[in-house]
Amino acid sequence: MAGKRISELSARTEFDSACNLPVETLPANDPDLTQRVTGEHVSAFTNLKPFTGVVRNVGLLATVDAGALTIALKQSDGESDPSADSVHSVVEAIFRPEVADSGARERLVFDEALSITIPSGATLGYANGEDAKIFVYLYRSGASRGLAVSKGQKSPEVPVTLIAISSGADDGDAAYSDAFDGEAGLVCIGYVEVLAITTAGTWTAPDIVYAGEILLSTGGVSTFVDLTDAPDSFASQAGKLVAVNEDEDGLEFVSPSSSNIEEVTTVNAATYDVLSTDHVLLVTYSATGTCAIELKTAQLVAGRKIKIKDAGGLAKTNPITISTEGAETIDGAATAVINANFGAIELICDGANWFTLAVKPSKRPTVTRSNLASDFTPTPVNTINDTGVQLDITTVADEVVLLQGYAGITIASGYVGTQFLIDIDGTIVWRNYALPTGTASVAPRFGYPLNWVTAPLAAGAHTIKLQVLYATGSGQPVVKASATLGGPTYLAAIQFE
């Protein structure tokens, strides 16, 4: 008996201190099964089937004869008829009050054989090829009691109209009884399944017979079905939870979410439909091409979160587009886009639409640089020279770009007033007036660093130029492409994507 739980025992049994001399001593006047035993004896007891508050000691037996299916009420051994012989041999069920929302629930005892036959020809609303799942109930209406069946599960919380079953019982929405017509209270006690019906109305031996309490959701009728895709071994399932699967027709194992452990799914395809078990998507396909991710309507559950990350690192070139299956929106728009390298987005659902919690662009800098191709002499007389350095960049969102560079210039002779300017899309955003002047006898050399010039840019394509304005004078400046003045003339744009 070591390690056995009380609920694992099959009946009230007494053992001596060595747990090896069973003695049947259950008194007939002990309906609560709580007798105390003195001396060295140890007492253990249980009901034949643990009482859950709805049914106790219930079993079902299903047989077929000439295309008719008979379902009989049994004790939990599946063979013995209920009887009044002892407290062990009855079937018990708790029913809702006879008058809805009035009175206490009642525990009723069934102590005689009951059965219901679904005649040949009665389809219960099933068609050829379908899997038939027939729910079985105990019913009561006043003094009338018996068995009933239906295609869809009925709620025990409201009276249900029963129809006496016949060969014409073809309504999938109806509930049929053994002989009673009228309203009755129901308690579901199990189901019988016949898989892949060959001919509807011609019943064959059932594949599954289940007896016991069946759960109903509070939001409506839905059955608690068998666990599907259960592995042969549970060795790798430690700590996992059981959840309703994506198709809502079974259960599956899922890893629990916690503050530091989340289910991660790698997406390496051009399209992907988000599953109910997904929490974090690492999109590696962006290294190959664009990726489209769809949020399914079935996942519109308040509080549902999903995180999507550009793990391929090339979303700027190959954007990741997130859309919805139906008319749901993301921050009021039809789509959301990750178009920054190594960018990410986190979404949350309010039950009707999706909203952005965080958009995380990559913090890696992207540097675009252009060097002066060759030395050149600016055009004089207040003309901005376009022969300088040009950058073409694209910003994925409104952002501040840092501009950095170096300008080298020599002045041949004479008085010179020369400026360096930065032009963005035709507008001068920076200029320097402090360049040196020369004389007829001196040819100054000057290297000027351009460090951290900030440029707020809207999302889109931009042209940035480092230009020279040569004002006047007999001597001409020469802008150097070589490193003779400490470095070549160049311009770089630094973006944090």
pTM of the shown model: 0.39
The distance in angstroms from the start CA to the end CA of the chain is: 67
Angle at 48 between CA 46 and CA 53, to 5 degrees: 80
What is residue 359's predicted lDDT score, i.e. its pLDDT?
Answer: 63
Cβ-based burial of 149 (10 A; exposed 0-12, middle 13-18, buried ≥19): buried
Q: Scan for tokens 């002892």, then name that residue.
A: 86
Q: Scan for tokens 């729910």, then name that residue.
A: 135
What is residue 219's predicted lDDT score, i.e. its pLDDT?
Answer: 38
Residues of the chain with pLDDT under 70: 1-53, 99-103, 213-236, 239, 246-250, 255-261, 359-364, 380-383, 385-387, 396-397, 411-418, 432-451, 471-476, 483-486, 497
User: What is the C-alpha to C-alpha distance for residues 149 and 136, in angstroms, rounded to an integer?
Assistant: 5
What is residue 253's predicted lDDT score, i.e. its pLDDT?
Answer: 73
What is residue 41's predicted lDDT score, i.e. its pLDDT?
Answer: 34
What is residue 471's predicted lDDT score, i.e. its pLDDT?
Answer: 63
Strands (E), 66-181: 68-74, 91-95, 106-110, 115-118, 132-141, 144-150, 160-164, 175-177
Token code pair at residue 207: 């594949």
How many Cα atoms occupy the beta-carbon half-sphere of 442 within 13 Å?
9
What is residue 384's predicted lDDT score, i.e. its pLDDT?
Answer: 72
What is residue 380's predicted lDDT score, i.e. its pLDDT?
Answer: 66
Tally helices (H) and strands (E) across the chain. Answer: 0, 36
Q: For the chain, give the number of residues.
A: 497
What is residue 390's predicted lDDT score, i.e. its pLDDT?
Answer: 87
Q: Assign 3-class secondary structure to 10-48.
A: CCCEEECCCCCCCECCCCCCCCCCCCCCCCCCEEECCCC
DSSP string, 304-325: -EEEEEE-SS-TTTS-EEEEES
Q: What percent of the chain is modeled with pLDDT above 90?
A: 34
Among 78, 167, 100, 178, smallest CA distance to 138 is for 178
Which domains, and CATH codes, for the chain?
A: 1-46 (no CATH), 55-223 (no CATH), 264-360 (2.60.120.640), 365-496 (2.60.120.1340)
